[in-house]
Each structure stands twice: as C-alpha cells, then as structure tokens.
Chains A and B, each alone.
Chain A
C-alpha cells in the first residue's frame, strides 16, 4: 500500500535559517504530492502541491519538487520566520480512484527569534 515517511521532529532553527524537511513516499500509482501545515490551534491548511514528476510547488517562500526517481518531495525555505512555527505534514493522493489523502506523521518546526 501507499505510505509517506517524514523526518522526525522537532526541528529547531533560528530565525532566517535555511529549512529542509525530508519526505519520501511509496506509491502503487502516480500520485499527487502535498505539504499541509497545522498552526497552533488551527485546522490543517494546504501549503503547496505538485501533481506530476519534476513539478515544483511553491507558496509563502516554501518550495518542494516532485522527484520520481528518488520518490521524494522535500520541503525547503530559504529563510524561516518565527511565524513559520507549526507542524508540517507531507501527503499523497490520487486524482482518480481512491480520493483519500495518505499523510506522513508530521514534523514540528520551532523557529526561535
């Protein structure tokens, strides 16, 4: 079956540091890949997505590239802010057939001023 593996947290960085959160996946088909973010006290929100190999998703300074050869979708940001502190989830789903998202276990990011 499908699965998503993320690096364990928490990840603690100083403001303006470079961020990488690793995500790899196992899939039976050709999924779309997502990063969702959960800020404290709020619901999950879509951060970015990529629907096919070599696509790059980007939003709010975050980027991730769909790498089919390495089955990876690592999240990066060049300069984090305190307001980026949250839990980040990598996920996959399919455009047709089963519509459910398969999530990783989440990575908590703490950014210190």
Chain B
C-alpha cells in the first residue's frame, strides 16, 4: 500500500474487554514498531519486530499486552482485560531495513483506544 495502515481508527472498549489493533506496514518493510501515545505526551516504545521475530518487547507495560507478526507483514497488538489507563493512541511504524537511524521510518495515523 501507499503507507502504513492501522485499523480500527477508533476503538471504544468497556473495562475488562479484550481488544486487537491491526497494523499493515508498507509492503516489504522488514522492521515494525509499536508505540503508545497518551494524551498530551510523546509516543512511548512498546515493541519491535524484525520480520516475524519480536526482538524487543521491553516497552510492553504488563503481561496484558501482547504483539505478534506471524508472517512478517501484518502485526496485531492485543490488550487483554483493558483498563482505563490503557486509553491512548497506539501508533505503528515501519521501515525497509533493520531499523537503523539512517532509515526512514513511516508512521501510521494510529488507533485511538478509549476504555470506559
């Protein structure tokens, strides 16, 4: 596709529900990142994939958060038993190489999650 696509654009969940957020990176991109952006804050790193391998999950805030990229393309971020503090915009980004600083990183428009 032309860019990084995320769906849904908006998600409202009741506290305790499970949610799944989807990211379609640019075709052929090797690296994929997930970030969480709370209102009025900068994005915070959640996890990083290189193809299907999850190389860094140090930013996942709890074991309720789980991410996968089984075929090295589409990625899903799953949040179990959502809490109000999970309300944020979840951003996905991809790049063509292995994530070095010389590569251009392309961000999606994000999924805005509201937990009531």
Contact call A106/B101, Cβ cutoff below 8 A: no
Tell me how many residues of A have a C-beta within 8 Å of chain B: 25
- CA of A100 to CA of B95, assembled, Å: 12
Residue A95 is within 8 A (CB to CB) of chain B in the complex: yes
| CB neighbors of B among A69-112 (8 A) | 89, 91, 93-96, 98-106
Contact call A100/B48, Cβ cutoff below 8 A: yes
With contact pairs A98-B56, A100-B56 given, residues A43 and B108 touching in the complex (Cβ less than 8 Å): yes
Contact call A42/B48, Cβ cutoff below 8 A: no
| CB neighbors of A among B29-47 (8 A) | 31, 33, 35, 40-45
Number of A-B contacts (CB under 8 A): 60
Contact call B42/A43, Cβ cutoff below 8 A: no
Contact call B43/A51, Cβ cutoff below 8 A: no
Contact call A106/B33, Cβ cutoff below 8 A: no
Q: Which residue of B lies closest to A89 (CB)?
A: B42
Which A residues fall within an 8 A CB radius of B?
Answer: 4, 32, 41-46, 49, 51, 89, 91, 93-96, 98-106
